[in-house]
Structure 1
């Protein structure tokens, strides 16, 4: 089994789409490790705020299989493709880490570059796995967050899933 980490984001009917993505991932992969959920302003375009989180789970699937599943989940929830790179979206699932794999695999660059550049990816990953080493820079995610410039604003939100509070605004 391989441990993978995936970022989830939505700025259209956010709570419904994040819930649907968590349900789909749990149904396919079983136990999910779920970070706190953050709200952040849109990056790269004017638009509604996003909800973002990171989910970890174990799988036997290849990188190509995972990305295919993620596209199916996105498409099933109204993701429109072919538009602007930075735009509103119902659901965005991106593979961040596949164990400690580095390089281009099945057309996916790992680890995903957004980890080092976007607060809405780095902070949830640091919350979920503070002691885990980034496979390229060889610093923990907690260390990377501690020196991150924090210009991108984000804040935790309350979020309930399957009858349980999985994220609290007062963290």
Structure 2
């Protein structure tokens, strides 16, 4: 089992699109631990506000298998296969950390946006404050404390998810 952290985001009907995607994450990976949910302005393009948070869980799959499962969940929940990087989306699942792995392929890990997107760093630091990313020496709580919080606006919002009835 490998501990993984996944950034979850949506700005297209997020309160309707996120819960079924979480149900699928639960089916694939088992129990999920969620950070608080934050609302933030779109970054890199003009669009509706996003809901963002981080999920921690364990994967029995390889790195490539985990990335494939996340992509399949995105597509099953309305993500356009050829969506531009900076665009609105029903569900965005980004693998941030896969255990202690550092790599460039099949994706870059640790995910670079951990260091420069408040909507990734704040919920990740909240979920795993003492965690030190592979190749780093600074706990996430310290990274968040040192982060320039004037660059991006985000705020906690109420959000509640329970696995659907067939999974409880």
> What is the TM-score when the length of structure 2 is the normalising length?
0.93
Q: 1:8 and 1:83 mapped to 2: Cα distance?
A: 16
Aligned to 1:160: 160
Q: 1:100 and 1:117 mapped to 2: Cα distance?
A: 20
CA distance 1:103–1:76, change in 2 (3 Å): same
Q: 2:162 and 2:93 mapped to 1: Cα distance?
A: 20
Tell whether the 8 Å contact from 2:29 to 2:60 is kept in structure 1 after alignment: no
Residue 125 of structure 1 pairs with residue 148 of structure 2: no
> Mean alpha-carbon deviation: is it higher for 122-131 or for 23-32?
23-32
Q: 1:47 and 1:33 mapped to 2: Cα distance?
A: 28
What is the CA-CA distance between 1:28 and the residue it aligns to?
1.7
1:86 is paired with a residue whose SS is coil
What is the CA-CA distance between 1:81 and the residue it aligns to?
2.9
Aligned to 1:68: 68
Q: 2:43 and 2:158 mapped to 1: Cα distance?
A: 22
Alignment of 1:19-58 (within 5 A): 19-58=19-58
Aligned to 1:144: 143
2:81 is paired with a residue whose SS is coil
Point out where structure 2 has 5 or more consecutive residues left out of the alignment: 164-168
Per residue, is there more strand in 1 or in 2? Answer: 1
Q: For residues 114-143 of structure 1, what are the alpha-carbon distances to aligned partners after superposition, in whole Å with 9 as ceiling and x for unaligned?
A: 100100000000000000002122111100
What is the CA-CA distance between 1:2 and the residue it aligns to?
0.6
> What is the TM-score when the length of structure 1 is the normalising length?
0.91
Q: 1:84 and 1:73 mapped to 2: Cα distance?
A: 18
